């Protein structure tokens, strides 16, 4: 999103002030008490959150937990590129009970296509070293998984195997952000070709056919859950309501930072943690419009046989300058192909089980 339509990040502070953190903690505590929540999840995201430094991160985690009543669990995750993930940070996260998600795009050449330092040097070597530090020692219990952005120029099986070598509890493959007005790489909105589905299907078949249980692949697991009648737990697929808001470093509340990929101000609510509650945000018209319900789907989606599984795709990927978000995902053919393939594999196995009884 830092290279796409909304560039408002340029005018925001590099990290949160203690005042903003205190306001966030107060609002979280207020929200928990209002709804009698037994647990919440707080994700420290970026940019790169470790750039804020150990002192600010520690202050944020302790302030939020201090604002919450006894009996409510606060699960904290930090999503990092791991370049700065040294022994000191690992010790800090262990002491705070913070789990660690790492962004890595596969083997060295795959990762270093995009994840470069300012001098043009790739980051894989440092990230790999940090991951080994996280996964092979006493900090392995903190490992929350790997986030990988898909680049279809990379070998899919090579990417999957490279990520699996670190024994992550989950791998999350993300489709590159794009929409009908600004299409993602190698996705021609006018074409019925499905390059992203073909890339992911190769990984799915390898993963599904493995003789032993391997790491979870979140996108596949959620599609399978939906096909088996359960609700989705992620925003990218299915019709489950959105349960996430974003607070920027200046305290501004947005309903999704992913929407910055669409146009300037797409995620704006006009609200701030100093004066607005999270309940107020959830009644904002733009937030209500983003709720993934059957009513909110475009008509073309409602007539599709997999609309309850696909859910129209990620909201940001539905944008078109002329029609707003009232469109299917720019990845529509890929999603249909992938979901249909997974359904076909499951259906065959279910039929075998039934016939053997």
Q: Are 100 and 143 in contact (CB under 8 A)?
A: yes
Cβ neighbours for 348, distance < 8 A, ≥ 6 positions apart: none
Cβ proximity of 134 and 140 under 8 Å = yes
- Predicted pLDDT of residue 13: 87
In the chain, domain spans: 8-287+294-343
Provide the CB-side half-sphere exposure for 331 (13 A, CA): 28
pLDDT at 45: 94
Contact 104, 154 (CB under 8 A): no
At 292 the pLDDT is 56
How many C-beta atoms surround the C-beta of residue 224 within 10 A? 18
| Number of residues that this document lists for the chain | 357
**pLDDT at residue 246, as a whole number:** 93
Cβ neighbours around 10 below 10 Å, total: 7
Consecutive 10-residue runs of the chain (357 residues): their mean pLDDT? 72 91 97 95 94 97 95 96 97 98 97 90 95 94 97 98 96 96 94 97 97 91 95 88 89 88 86 94 78 73 93 92 92 98 95 84
**In the block, which residue shows the tokens 């340029």?**
10
What strands, in cross-sheet order, belong to the sheet with 246-247? 246-247, 252-254, 268-272
pLDDT at residue number 286: 74
Return d(Cα 75, Cα 63) in angstroms, integer: 13
Please state which CATH number belongs to domain 8-287+294-343.
3.20.20.70
Q: Check: CB of residue 197 under 8 Å from CB of residue 340.
A: no
Token pair for residue 56?
Answer: 């600010």
Asked whether the beta carbons of 335 and 313 are under 8 A apart, the reply is yes
Going along 211-258, which residue ranges are E strands?
A: 216-217, 246-247, 252-254
């Amino acid at each position: 999103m830092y290279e796409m339509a909304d560039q408002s990040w340029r005018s925001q502070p590099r990290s949160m002030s203690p005042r903003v953190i205190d306001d966030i903690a107060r609002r979280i505590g207020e929200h928990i008490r209002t709804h009698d929540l037994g647990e919440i999840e707080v994700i420290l995201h970026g940019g790169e959150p470790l750039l804020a430094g150990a002192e600010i991160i520690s202050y944020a985690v302790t302030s939020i937990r201090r604002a919450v009543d006894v009996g409510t669990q606060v699960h904290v995750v930090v999503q990092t590129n791991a370049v700065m993930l040294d022994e000191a940070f690992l010790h800090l996260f262990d002491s705070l009970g913070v789990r660690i998600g790492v962004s890595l795009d596969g083997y060295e050449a795959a990762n270093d296509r995009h994840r470069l330092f300012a001098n043009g040097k790739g980051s894989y070597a440092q990230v790999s070293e940090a991951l080994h530090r996280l996964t092979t020692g006493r900090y392995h219990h903190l490992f929350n998984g790997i986030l990988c952005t898909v680049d279809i120029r990379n070998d899919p099986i090579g990417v999957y195997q490279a990520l699996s070598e670190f024994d992550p509890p989950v791998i999350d493959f993300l489709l590159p952000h794009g929409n009908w007005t600004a299409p993602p790489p190698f996705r021609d909105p006018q074409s019925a070709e499905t390059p992203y589905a073909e890339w992911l299907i190769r990984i799915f078949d390898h993963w599904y056919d493995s003789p032993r249980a391997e790491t979870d692949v979140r996108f596949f697991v959620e599609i399978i859950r939906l096909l088996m009648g359960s609700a989705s737990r992620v925003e990218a697929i299915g019709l489950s309501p959105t349960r996430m808001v974003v607070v920027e470093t200046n305290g501004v509340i947005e309903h999704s930072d992913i929407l910055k990929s669409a146009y300037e101000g797409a995620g704006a609510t006009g609200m701030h943690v100093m004066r607005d509650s999270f309940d107020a945000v959830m009644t904002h018209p733009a937030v209500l419009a983003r709720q993934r319900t059957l009513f909110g789907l475009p008509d073309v989606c409602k007539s599709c046989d997999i609309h309850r599984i696909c859910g129209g795709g990620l909201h940001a990927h539905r944008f078109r300058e002329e029609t707003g978000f009232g469109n299917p995902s720019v990845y529509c053919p890929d999603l249909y192909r992938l979901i249909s393939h997974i359904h076909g594999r499951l259906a065959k196995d279910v039929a075998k089980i039934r016939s053997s009884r």
